[in-house]
Amino acid sequence: MELTATTFVNMLVLSSMYILVALGFAFLFSIMGILNFAHGVIYMVGGYICYQFAVEYGLNQWISLLLSVLIVASLGLFLEKFCFRPFFGNLNRTIVVSIGIIVVLENTVNILVGTSTRSLPAFIPGVLRVGATSLSAERLVTFIIGGALLAATIWFIRNTKPGQQMQAVSQNVEGAALQGISIHRVSALACVMACGLAAVAGCLMGAFLSLTPFMGDYMLVKALELVILGGIGSMGGIFFAGLIIGSLDATLPLFISGAASQAIALGIIITILLFRPQGFFGREAK
């Protein structure tokens, strides 16, 4: 019973974190047409900035989370303006730029903090008891924050004017521009949101697992899996794929070792994609 409850909570936590990162990646891909391989590193930097404020400078952890999100979001604004905008729609060159960003950010973290594993203290320490089962309060809080942010993002996209503009641009860039939507402003907004969401996920995962300079690679692969499996251009697909991959990652390690479970999860994903290349809810494969 306790194992089932813990696994269920783990599944929810992993799914919500994966979806947070993947949603940002999908924004950048569908709105600006770039494959931002640096998204994992941005997530890692978010976690490290929070660590720096909370542990090294002794600030309140929630304030340092907020500061981290602000700093990473402004980094996103900078990246959009100077790195992605000059190559709008040119896939090859934006990949080169994103690798350059990976090198710069990863090396900066290595120099300033070092390559050893760090860990953020729990945001809310303690154990929650429900009847006979006990759950870590930390994980529940992580899931609640993740879920709330996701709901807020969906509401923003669906119901506000800038959000609808983002949708329009992701459907048809020229058409949106003809309607008087400023493409650059929309893509700047998308980049800021993507980086901010990644930073939140980085801080929460840093407390949930631990911080290493290479944690971004793992998350980047997860984000790619979610976006491709869910279907490019479909937000519901990302949620669906996130739940599937999150539950695979939460349950498979119970039965087999970590590396084998990763290999099996990837095998399942590849098999699904071979039969349905456009993902669950994707548009026609081009």
The residues of the shown chain that bind another protein, judged by CB under 8 A, are: 35, 37, 86-87, 92-93, 95-97, 99-100, 102-104, 106-107, 110-111, 217, 220-221, 224-225, 228, 232, 257, 259-260, 262-263, 266-267, 269-270, 273-274, 277-278, 285-286
* Count of all residues that appear for the chain in the document: 286
What's the token pair of residue 236? 């519901």
Q: CA 87 to CA 33: how far, in whole Å?
A: 10
Angle, alpha carbons 153-224-172 (nearest 5°): 60
Q: Which is nearer to another protein, 37 or 143 (CB)?
A: 37
Shortest Å distance, C-beta 147 to another protein: 27
Q: Which is nearer to another protein, 84 or 239 (CB)?
A: 84
43 in Cβ contact with 19 (< 8 Å): no
DSSP string, 148-179: HHHHHHHHHHHHSHHHHHHHHHHH-HHHHHHT
Shortest Å distance, C-beta 219 to another protein: 12
From start to end of the chain, where are the E strands?
Answer: 127-130, 133-136
Q: CA 131 to CA 8: how far, in whole Å?
A: 16
Q: Report the candidate in 208, 262, 202 with the shortest Cα–Cα distance to residue 50.
A: 202
Shortest Å distance, C-beta 277 to another protein: 5
Q: Which is nearer to another protein, 15 or 94 (CB)?
A: 94
Q: Which is nearer to another protein, 254 or 260 (CB)?
A: 260
Shortest Å distance, C-beta 163 to another protein: 25
Shortest Å distance, C-beta 71 to another protein: 20
Q: Which is nearer to another protein, 1 or 274 (CB)?
A: 274
Q: CA 49 to CA 113: how far, in whole Å?
A: 10
Shortest Å distance, C-beta 25 to another protein: 12
Angle, alpha carbons 228-91-222 (nearest 5°): 30
What's the token pair of residue 118? 């760090």
Q: Which is nearer to another protein, 158 or 276 (CB)?
A: 276
